[in-house]
Amino acid sequence: MKILLTGGAGFIGSHTAVALIENGFDPVIVDDFRNSEPFVIENIEKIVGKKITYYSLNIGNKEGVKNILQRENPVGVIHFAADKAVNESVLNPMKYYQNNVLNLINFLEVIDQMNINSFVFSSSCTVYGVPDKIPVNESALIKPAFSPYGYTKQVGERILTDFFKTKNKSSLTLLRYFNPIGAHPSGLIGELPIGVPSNLVPYITQAGIGKRKKLTVFGKDYDTKDGTCVRDYIHVVDLANAHVAALKKGLKRKDSIKTYNVGTGKGASVLDVIKAFEKVSQQGLNYEFGPRRAGDVPKIYSDNFLIKNELAWHPKFSLEDCLEHAWKWEKNLFNFKYKSEKKQD
Ligand code: UD1
């Protein structure tokens, strides 16, 4: 069974392509490589031991997408293609509205004429803003978004919900990710931040290998166990498996819309993540405390009861596994050829 993966060469998309193949599906990747590299496709192929079908295209290109859909005839879609840097979205909001919203609408106009049985959307816990209650569950209030990026996830959920309400042969699953980290245990695929990473784990591994001088921990006076922010860090392979579980269930359901948190259900502080890195890398990390980062939520982690109960999905990897795999990936990166130097600032 063919499954279309928009943004399938990205961090979560590439791991989901592997998980789909391991589960007997046939992924078809459409990606414009704005935030990926052609070697990612080669490395997916190395992991799974077979060729992958992929197209280098932006999903806003209606004619191109239509041709691909007619040729491949997928039964399901997993939609990852989007920009995801919170800071960048504040500085350049139109890029986010264009790619995450307008291109989504263009894409839906094309799939409107196709029979897509199961559609899975890449959403984020960012839709909850500062939650009133932790762990946060799926029925928590959606708060005004902090950033244009967060707003595009809220709007994306709404557009898709309205679209799929009118379809009686398709199902929609919205997956709200907590903090995806780690890399494939093989060290062949992982996260490829452009320039200086804004996310914690790529920054840590880059500081560990010497690409960055030191990590700044943003804030040490939060009302948490050690004063640093708490997040729910989920291994990207566990997250990829959640997509497969959601897709499979969606293929059996018809005419329904489901929303699931994807997290471990456990909170870890910034210092916990640093400690896990120091343990698996067997080296100290150079870090200092700095001021709080604007817009950071002090503490958030998931209530993951629903996805465990309804999709029989369970996270398997620990925080240390996450850091061990991210570190292996970082050490491997120099082996891979980038199409441009800019990605490796
Ligand atoms: C952000 C997004 C989230 C997205 C995730 C992964 C929001 C509110 N959050 O999460 O939707 O899924 O990125 O792309 O939009 N930290 C440091 N020093 C650093 C970097 C980070 O101390 O150099 C701290 C942060 O203050 C935070 C934690 O590490 O407490 C995690 O930060 P980060 O990896 O950027 O993820 P989030 O901001 O939680």
> Alpha-carbon distance 65 to 288, whole Å?
47
Position 113 scores a pLDDT of 86
- pLDDT tens per residue, range 284-320: 999 999 999 988 889 999 999 999 999 999 999 999 9
What are the residue ranges of helices labelled H in the chain?
Answer: 11-22, 38-48, 62-72, 86-91, 93-96, 103-111, 148-165, 200-209, 236-252, 270-281, 305-311, 319-332
Cα–Cα nearest to 240, from 33, 39, 32, 48: 48
pLDDT score of 295: 84
| 267 C-beta closer than 6 A to ligand 1 | no
The Å distance, Cα 231 to ligand 1 centre, comes to: 8
Which one of 124, 142, 228, 272 would you pick to mutate in the ligand 1 pocket, going by the greatest count of ligand atoms within 8 A of its CB?
Answer: 124
Using pLDDT thresholds of 50, 70 and 90, give the confidence band for residue 340.
Answer: low
Higher pLDDT, 332 or 336: 332
Q: Please name each of the domains of the chain with its CATH number.
A: 2-344 (3.40.50.720)
Ligand 1 site-directed mutation target among 192, 199, 224, 232, most atoms within 8 Å of CB: 199
Q: How many CB atoms lie within 10 A of CB 139?
A: 8
Q: What is the pTM of this model?
A: 0.96
In the beta sheet, which residues pair with residue 275?
none
pLDDT grade for 339, boundaries at 50, 70 and 90: confident
- State residue 344's pLDDT score: 52
Tell me what pLDDT residue 337 has. 78
Q: Flag whether pLDDT at 343 surpasses 80.
A: no
Give me the pLDDT at residue 204, please.
98
Q: What is the mean pLDDT of residues 8-32?
A: 98
Higher pLDDT, 25 or 342: 25
Helix (H, G, I), strand (E, B) or coil at 143: coil
**Residues taking part in catalysis:** 149
Q: What is the percentage of the chain residues whose pLDDT exceeds 90?
A: 89
Q: Is residue 197 pLDDT above 90, yes or no?
A: yes
CA angle 230, 192, 319 (to 5 degrees): 35
| Rounded-to-integer distance, Cα 119 and Cα 160, Å | 9
For residue 210, what are the CA distances in angstroms to 46, 106, 205, 207, 281?
Answer: 28, 43, 9, 5, 13
Tell me, using a 6 A CB cutoff, whether residue 299 lines ligand 1: no
pLDDT single digits (tens) 140-151: 999 888 899 999
Any atom of ligand 1 within 6 Å of the Cβ of 123: no
Q: Indicate if ligand 1 lies below 6 Å from the C-beta of 111.
A: no
